[in-house]
């Protein structure tokens, strides 16, 4: 084989490998847990509801602030479970607030075509060491298929503000998770919402 031919062949192989890698990465990120286009039915995402309270609902919650999920607070470390079949597409640990510092680990998961679930594990970690503990308390990795009811990981309790921020996107747009809850999930949620003591409705944004 001539040298010029070998070089062209190697270049074509390299382009093919790079293209395959980019395509594989894109497919990884968009591959759903199931190929259904029906809205998912979500079970309650917390294993032990005895230690759970509702910190905030979805929508406009005052002072012009739009809250794009439901916050489930806890007064002890607790397991967070997959509310439906999921494919993990991203895990990120980051400093989301300062003065004082607050760290969280956000887990992005695709349910089916058009629906994406995200759970932010906000353990009230004040430093990177506590943040690493929370990251290590997860049982999942990117690309993993998780079945409904499996434990995603433990939300560690590091203070009174400990909670998960539970959100869903429909075709890239925020939506109220409550409307996708199963009857059993609503049966757990509704009494907690009453105990929360708010006069507002759970999903107080009329667009959803």
Q: Is the pLDDT of residue 207 over 50?
A: no
Does the residue 28 lie in any domain?
Answer: no
Query: Alpha-carbon dihedral of residues 87, 93, 96, 101, nearest 10 degrees?
Result: 150
Rounded Cα gap, residues 81 and 138, in angstroms: 11
- pLDDT(79) > 60: yes
- Could you tell me what percent of the chain has a pLDDT over 90? 70
pLDDT at 2 over 90: no
110: pLDDT strictly greater than 60: yes
Residue 62, domain CATH: 2.70.70.10
Residue 147 placed within a domain:
yes
Asked if residue 21 has pLDDT above 50, the reply is no
**Which residue range forms the structural domain that includes residue 128?**
49-196
Over residues 139-193, the pLDDT tens digits come to 999 999 999 999 999 999 999 999 999 999 999 999 999 999 999 999 999 999 9
d(CA 208, CA 200) in angstroms, rounded, equals 15
The proportion of the chain whose per-residue pLDDT surpasses 70, expressed as a percent, equals 81
Domain membership of residue 180 (yes or no) is yes
9 occurs within a structural domain: no
Task: State how far the Cα of 63 lies from the Cα of 49, in Å rounded to an integer.
Answer: 30
Q: How many CB atoms lie within 10 A of CB 53?
A: 16
Question: How many distinct structural domains can be found in the chain?
Answer: 1
Given a cut of 90, is residue 33 above it in pLDDT? no
Instruction: Assess if residue 149 is contained within a domain.
Output: yes
pTM of the predicted protein model: 0.83
Render pLDDT for 122-138 as a digit per residue (tens, 0 to 9).
Answer: 999 999 999 999 999 99
35 assigned to some structural domain? no
Could you tell me the two tokens for 61?
């919650």
161 within some domain? yes
Other Cβ atoms less than 10 A from the Cβ of 137: the count is 18
Tell whether 179 is covered by a domain: yes
């Amino acid at each position: 084989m001539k040298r010029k031919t070998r070089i062209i062949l190697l270049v074509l192989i390299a382009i093919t490998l790079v293209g395959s890698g980019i395509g594989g990465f894109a497919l990884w990120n968009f591959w759903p847990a199931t190929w259904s286009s029906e809205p998912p039915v979500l079970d309650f995402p917390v294993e032990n509801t005895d230690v759970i309270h509702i910190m905030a609902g979805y929508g406009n919650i005052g002072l012009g602030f739009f809250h794009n999920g439901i916050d489930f607070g806890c007064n002890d470390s607790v397991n967070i479970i997959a509310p439906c079949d999921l494919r993990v597409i991203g895990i990120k640990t980051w400093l989301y607030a300062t003065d004082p510092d607050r760290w969280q680990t956000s887990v992005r998961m695709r349910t089916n075509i058009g629906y994406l679930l995200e759970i932010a594990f906000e353990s009230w970690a004040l430093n990177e060491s506590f943040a690493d503990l929370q990251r290590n308390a997860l049982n999942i990795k990117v690309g993993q298929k998780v079945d409904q009811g499996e434990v995603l990981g433990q939300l560690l309790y590091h203070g009174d503000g400990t909670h998960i921020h539970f959100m869903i996107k429909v075709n890239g747009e925020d939506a109220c998770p409550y409307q996708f809850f199963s009857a059993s999930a609503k049966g757990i949620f509704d009494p907690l919402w009453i105990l929360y003591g708010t006069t507002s409705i759970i999903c107080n944004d009329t667009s959803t």
